[in-house]
Amino acid sequence: MAVAVPPGRASGWAWRPVARDALLARAFHSCTELRGQFYLVGGLLTGGAREPSSDTVVFDPARGQAVRLGAQGTPARSHHDAAPVGGRWLCVVGGWDGSRRLATVTALDTERGVWEAWTATPGDCPPAGLSSHTCTRLSDRELRVAGREGGVRTQRRYGSIYTLRLDPNARTYCYKEEGCHTASRSGHCAALLQIPGPHPGHQLLLFGGCNLAESEVAGHWSHGKIKEEPPVAPHLMEQLARLVSSGQGSQKGPQGLRHHSCSVVGPFAVLFGGETLTRARDTICNDLYIYDTRKSPPLWFHFPCADRQLKRVGHRTCLWNDQLYLVGGFGEDGRTASPQVCILDLFI
């Protein structure tokens, strides 16, 4: 376990390994917490692979054990996103199936243990095809999808924003394109954060996925519109607050970062790893970034790491039981998937 300590500081952080299983070795997968279990869907098993995995692995963080789910109809996907719905369904949205980019919704019914291809309703206006996009849960019936559509030859010069409405009982979905656009982003992350101050509410921020260092707003909701209750992590929130108090904040975020991870912990967005677009060599990163929204304007805090074994791209982080977990991803060579599960430790 390597510890990253800023020069001249007494605080630091580390990813502490807590489990290891070959079933978890993958990148560009989804990893979603549902009922205390982590559901890993698809991904690429080796760097350079074009055919995504078609298996689903369930990791129990309490026991540190992983099992392959024998559900029928598991979709082959990578560069997709997923969201829990109704405490029962795991909805996989878009992604690469080995031959094309999709905008369909396929859901795992965790009670029945089967995958279901949900049906688009009349009036559906789907994206041209989604990969390396984000899909953020707003409620059990509404997701917000953001990112670049299509492949390199067909993509637009801007990113589209869609509201994806779901009907779990009817197993149907419907896309609606919003009137606003963002910069053309791919491999970015999205964070639904509460807005403090005299006009509270929520906003959905996009980070990375292009050469810009600035974030963009992909949605804004007034107080009471978003009913989602984020996971409670009081101890981790306190530790993050103490960690940023030891650093120097900046209004400028990481530039040119993509395929990193992002988890919201109270007023903080915690970003890790990824691939930088700002240099031609040694592109895979192992830096920790914390976006602190407690004051206006929000500030970025950068905590670098010298341990090259912590470099990750195409990985995921999940928040559960007041701890942040790191799952999968390719390492420094961009080809070898990590079989480890780690927990973020903060030393204050």
Query: By residue range, what is the domain housing residue 137?
Result: 12-347
Averaged confidence pLDDT in the chain: 92
Alpha carbon distance 12, 6 (integer Å): 7
Can you give the CATH number for the domain in which 253 is found? 2.120.10.80
Residue 2 domain-assigned (yes or no): no
- Whole-number pLDDT of residue 63: 97
Cis peptide before 297 (omega within 30 of 0): yes
> What average pLDDT score do residues 153-158 get?
58
Residue 143 domain-assigned (yes or no): yes
Residue 1 domain-assigned (yes or no): no
Residue 340 domain-assigned (yes or no): yes
Residue-wise pLDDT for 267-296, tens only, equals: 999 999 999 999 989 999 999 999 999 998
Cβ neighbour number for residue 227 with a 10 Å cutoff: 8
Alpha carbon distance 105, 107 (integer Å): 7
- Whole-number pLDDT of residue 213: 83
Residue 20 domain-assigned (yes or no): yes
Alpha carbon distance 245, 296 (integer Å): 16
* Tally of structural domains, the chain: 1
Residue 210: pLDDT over 70: yes
> What average pLDDT score do residues 127-143 get?
94
Give the pTM.
0.94
Alpha carbon distance 217, 181 (integer Å): 9
170: which 2 tokens? 């009817």
Cβ neighbour number for residue 70 with a 10 Å cutoff: 9
Residue 3 domain-assigned (yes or no): no
Residue 260 domain-assigned (yes or no): yes
Residue-wise pLDDT for 303-330, tens only, equals: 999 899 999 999 999 999 999 999 999 9
- Whole-number pLDDT of residue 154: 46
Residue 208: pLDDT over 60: yes
Q: Which of these ranges, 29-33, 119-123, 124-128, 193-197, has the smallest mean pLDDT?
A: 193-197
